[in-house]
Structure 1
Amino acid sequence: MFNLPRKTISIFHRLSSYIVMYKSPSFLRVRCISTTCSDLSQSFAYSYLIDKFGFSQQSSLAAAKYLRFKTPDKPDSVIAFLENHGFSKTQIQQIIRLRPNLLYSKVENNLLPKLEFFRSRGVSSPDLIKFLFNNPTILSRSLENQIVPCFNRLSNLLQSDDKAVKAIKRYPFLVTCNFDAYMLPNINFLLDNGVPESNIRAMFLYHPRSFVMIPDRFIEIVKEVKEMGFDPLKMKFLRAVIMFRKMSKTILERKFDVYKKWGWSEQEIWEAIRKTPHCMDFSEETIMATMDFLVNRMGFKPLLIANQPSVLCRSLEKRIVPRGLYAQELLSKGLLKKYTLSGLFDTSEKVFIQSFVNRYEDIAPELLKLYKKKVDLATGGKYRTRKL
C-alpha cells in the first residue's frame, strides 16, 4: 500500500464528493456536489422523476441534487395543482425539467397567489398557461419582492395594466428581469436624447424584448442611429434602434449582399434603411423571394423598389403575390392600363378592393371571385420563400 501524506489524503477526501460522469464526449455532464452520484441514484427524488416524468437517468441526476423529498406528497400536490389549472402533462414535464425546485413549492402559499395575481390583472387562463410555460422562473420568484413591483412598473410605463399584460405575453421574461439594471437605464437614455415618451411606450408595447439589454451596448446603438441622421422625434428612430438591436453585424452584411445582387449600391441600401428601417427585418430568403416576384414577375425596376422600400415590409403571400397576380389579370383583360408600386401594395385591403375590384363590378362581376382565388393560390403555398 502507498503511504500518502496526510495532506494528500485530506485532498482525496474533499474531492470524493465531486464526481463527473461522461458517457461520450458530447454527452450531458453531471456534476454531483456534496454527495455522490451513487447516493443520488438511490434517492427517492431520482426514482420519482424517472417514474413520474420519464426523465433520463442523466436528467434525473442533474435535478435530484436540488431535491431531497422522501415522499410523493408535496410533488404530487404541485403536479395536481398545475393539472387543475390547465397545464398539460407535456408542459408540466418541461416546467419541472427547467425548474425542478418547484416540486418543493407550497401550493396554497406560493403558487396559487401568483396565478391569482395575474388573473386579477386581466390575464386569461390560456394566456397565463402560455407565458408561465415559456418562463416558469416566474413561479419560483417572490410575489411581493419581484413580480408585483415589476408588473406595477411596467403598468406605470405603459399607463395601463392591460398594456402591461400584452407586453408580458410578448416577452414573459419582463417579469423576472432586473428592471433597474437592464431596462430603466435604456429608457432614460432614450428620453435624454429627445425620444418622446409616447413613442417609447408605443414601441415598448410591441417590441418589449428590444429594450432589455446591457445598457453600454444599447447606448452605443442609440448613438450610432443618431449619427446616421435619424430624427429622435420620429418613430423611425426607434424602429432603427430596434432593428440594429436585434441584428448582428454579420447578418446585416448578408442582407446587404442580397440587395446588392439586385443592383442596389451600398448607398442606396442605406437610403432605403433611412426611409424604412424595418425593410431589413426579414430573412434573406424572404427578401430574395419578394424581390424576385416584384422584378421578374411584375416587371418593376430594382431601383424603383429601393426608392419605395416600404413595399418590402408587406406580406409576400398575403398581399404582394395575390394583388400582383390579380393586377396582371386586369391588364390582360384590358381593364387596367397601368399600376404603381405603392398603389398596389401600400394601400389597405379596403382601399385596394374599392380601387381595383369594386370599380369593375358592373363590367366584370366575377373579379372579386378572381381576386379571392389569387389570395387562396398565394397562401396555399405556391409562392413561398425559397432558398438563396
Structure 2
Amino acid sequence: MFNRPGRSISVLIRLSHIVMNNISSKPFLFLRVRCISKTCSDASQSFTVSYLINKLGFSPESALVVSKYVHFKTPDKPDNVIAFLEKRGFSETQIRQIIKTRPTLLCYDVEKTLLPKIQFFQSRGVSSPELSKLLYYNPRLLSCSLQKQIIPCFNQLSNLLQSDSKAITAIRRNPYLIPCKLDAYMLPNIKTLRDNGVPESKIISMFNYHPRSFVMHPDRFKEIVKEVKEMGFNPLLLKFLLAVIMFRKVSKPAMERKFDVYKKWGWSEQEIWEAFRKYPGVLEASNEKIAAIMDFLVNKMGFQSLLIANQPSIFGRSLEKVIVPRGLFAQDLLSKGLIKDFRLSALFHTSEKVFVQKFVNRYEDKAPALLKLYKEKMDLAYLSCLKCNCEMSLPCRLTYQCFVILVLITIILPPSIGRVGNRENKVIFFKVYTGLTGVWIEDKQQIHIGEEV
C-alpha cells in the first residue's frame, strides 16, 4: 500500500522516456495526442460560443472572450442555471451581465451549489427583490463557498453591525467583504479604533457607509490612526474617522496632486492642512471638481480664495445642483437690489429648505416671476430624484441640468433674449450647457467634449 506513489512515479518516468525517445523517429505519436486534445477543446469552445450567442444574446466578440473561461459540450447545466436565475426575476440583460462577470456559473449544479446560497440569504430576512439586486451587483457571491466564506463572513458582519440587514448593505457596498479574511484584515482594525478611544456607535455608523476603508493590512491601518491622532483630531468626534478614511482612500501621489491644485489658488500647505482638519473631504474631491469650484467662486462670484479655505465643506456640495444655481440666483437678487450682500455659508452650507426660506420665500412679493422659476426648478429636481430613487440616471441628470440652465438664462438675460423658444436663447443654451457639462447636443446626439466623433 505504501509503495503505490513510488510505483506511479516509476511508471511516469518510463512513459516520459518512451515518448522522448520516439518523438524524433515517430513524431505522429506525440502529435496525435496534441491534435485530439486540441480538437476536443475547439469543439467545446465552438459549442460554448454558439450557445452564448443564441441563448443569451452575446455578441460574437464577447462570446469568444467568455468562452476562454468556461467550456461545456451540452446545454443541460447552462439551461438549468439560466432557468434558475429567470425564476428569481432576473432579466436576460441581467443574466448576461452576471455570466459575463462569472462565466463558470454556467457549469454549476443548481441544487447543490446555487440553491443553498439563495436559501441562506432568504433565511436571514433578505427579500426576493433585495436578493436579486444583491446578486446582480455582486455575482461573486454565487461562486463563493457557503460554509467556508459566506456564512462565517456574514455572521462576523452581523455581529459587528448588530443587524442582518446592515450586514447585507455592507456586502452590497463592498463585494470583496465576503471572500475577505475579516479576522486578518478587518477585525484587527476595528480593535485599533476601539483601543484609541473611538466610540462603538461611530465605528458602526461609518462602517455602514465605507466598509472598504476598514479592510486593509492592520499595520498600515495603525500607522494611519496614529498619524490622524498626531494631527490633533479628537477620537470622540466623527471627523477622526473621516480623516482616517481619507488617508485610507487617497494615495500619497494623488494627495500631492490635490495639494498642487489648491496651491495654484494661493493656498499654502499649512492652510490646506487646516482646511483638512475642518473638513477632511477636501482631499476627496477630484482635481477637476476642486478647480471648477474655485474658478466659479473666485472668478465668477468674487469670493477671496482664502475665505473658501476657511469654509472647506463647500467641496462636498454638488457644483451643478447647488453651487452654480444658488450662486447665480443670489447674484441676480443682488443686482436687483433685493439683497445687499451674501455670505458663503448662507448660500452653500444650508439645506434646500433653509435656502428657500432665506432667499426665495423672503422676496416672493417683490419678485414673484423670478422666484417662481427657482421653485419650478426645485420641484422638477425633486420629482427627478423620486423617479430615480435619489440616484439620478444619466437622462435625468441631463434633463435636470437642461432645466437649470434654461432657468439661469431666463433669469440673467433681458426679456427680449431670454424668452423660451427664442433662437438666440437656444444658441446661448447650447453654449452654456457645453461649458458646464462637457456635452454638446446636436441632431439628437450627445457628444462629450474631447471624444472622437
Deviation by residue 1:189-247 (Cα, 9 ceiling, x = unmatched):
11111111111111100111111112222222222222222222211111111111111
Equivalent residues of 1:318, 1:378 under 8 A apart: no
Distance 1:58 1:204 in 2: 37
96-105 or 146-155, which moves further after superposition?
96-105
For residue 258 of structure 2, what is the amino acid of its counterpart?
Answer: K
Q: Partner of 1:42 in structure 2?
A: 43
Deviation at 1:114, TM superposition (A): 2.0
Distance 2:82 2:137 in 1: 17
1:112-261 paired onto structure 2 within 5 Å: 112-261=115-264
Establish whether residue 288 from structure 1 lines up as the match of residue 340 from structure 2: no
For residue 356 of structure 1, what is the amino acid of its counterpart?
Answer: F
Equivalent residues of 2:48, 2:73 under 8 A apart: no
State which structure, 1 or 2, has the greater radius of gyration over its C-alpha atoms. Answer: 2
Deviation at 1:122, TM superposition (A): 4.3
Normalized against structure 2, the TM-score is what?
0.72
For residue 205 of structure 1, what is the amino acid of its counterpart?
Answer: N
1:212-361 paired onto structure 2 within 5 Å: 212-361=215-364
Deviation at 1:328, TM superposition (A): 0.7
For residue 20 of structure 2, what is the amino acid of its counterpart?
Answer: I
Equivalent residues of 2:197, 2:236 under 8 A apart: yes
Name the CA shift for 1:120/1:359 in 2 (closer, same or farther; >3 Å). farther
For residue 149 of structure 2, what is the amino acid of its counterpart?
Answer: Q
Distance 1:281 1:11 in 2: 66
Q: Partner of 1:384 in structure 2?
A: 436
Distance 1:340 1:278 in 2: 21
For residue 70 of structure 2, what is the amino acid of its counterpart?
Answer: A
Q: Partner of 1:24 in structure 2?
A: none
Deviation at 1:150, TM superposition (A): 1.8
Name the CA shift for 1:363/1:179 in 2 (closer, same or farther; >3 Å). same
Q: Partner of 2:20 in structure 1?
A: 9
Equivalent residues of 2:185, 2:215 under 8 A apart: yes
Q: Partner of 1:108 in structure 2?
A: 111
For residue 307 of structure 2, what is the amino acid of its counterpart?
Answer: L
RMSD (CA atoms): 2.9
Name the CA shift for 1:125/1:285 in 2 (closer, same or farther; >3 Å). farther
Deviation by residue 1:258-294 (Cα, 9 ceiling, x = unmatched):
1111100111011101110012111111111111111
Deviation at 1:41, TM superposition (A): 1.4
Normalized against structure 1, the TM-score is what?
0.83
Deviation at 1:334, TM superposition (A): 0.8
Equivalent residues of 2:250, 2:283 under 8 A apart: no
For residue 352 of structure 2, what is the amino acid of its counterpart?
Answer: E
Q: Secondary structure at the match of 1:289?
A: helix
Instruction: Identify which of 60, 63, 68 aligns with 2:70.
Output: 63
Distance 1:96 1:335 in 2: 60
For residue 9 of structure 1, what is the amino acid of its counterpart?
Answer: M
Distance 1:89 1:334 in 2: 59
Name the CA shift for 1:184/1:36 in 2 (closer, same or farther; >3 Å). farther
For residue 52 of structure 1, what is the amino acid of its counterpart?
Answer: Y
The unaligned stretches of length 5 or more in structure 1 are 17-32
Deviation at 1:373, TM superposition (A): 6.3
Equivalent residues of 1:194, 1:233 under 8 A apart: yes
Q: Secondary structure at the match of 1:357?
A: helix
Distance 1:218 1:101 in 2: 35
For residue 131 of structure 1, what is the amino acid of its counterpart?
Answer: L
Aligned length, in residue pairs: 358
Q: Partner of 1:79 in structure 2?
A: 82
For residue 41 of structure 1, what is the amino acid of its counterpart?
Answer: D
Distance 1:150 1:12 in 2: 53
The unaligned stretches of length 5 or more in structure 2 are 1-15, 28-33, 54-61, 379-402, 407-431, 439-448
Deviation at 1:153, TM superposition (A): 1.9
Equivalent residues of 1:50, 1:56 under 8 A apart: yes
For residue 377 of structure 1, what is the amino acid of its counterpart?
Answer: V
Equivalent residues of 2:47, 2:73 under 8 A apart: no
Equivalent residues of 1:99, 1:137 under 8 A apart: yes
Equivalent residues of 1:77, 1:107 under 8 A apart: yes
Distance 1:330 1:58 in 2: 59
Q: Percent identity?
A: 63
Deviation by residue 1:139-192 (Cα, 9 ceiling, x = unmatched):
122334322332222122112222222222222222232211221111111111
Which of 1 and 2 has higher RCO (CA within 8 Å, sep 6+)?
Answer: 1
1:19-38 paired onto structure 2 within 5 Å: 36-38=37-39
Distance 1:11 1:117 in 2: 57
Q: Partner of 1:92 in structure 2?
A: 95
Equivalent residues of 1:151, 1:175 under 8 A apart: yes
Equivalent residues of 2:66, 2:103 under 8 A apart: no
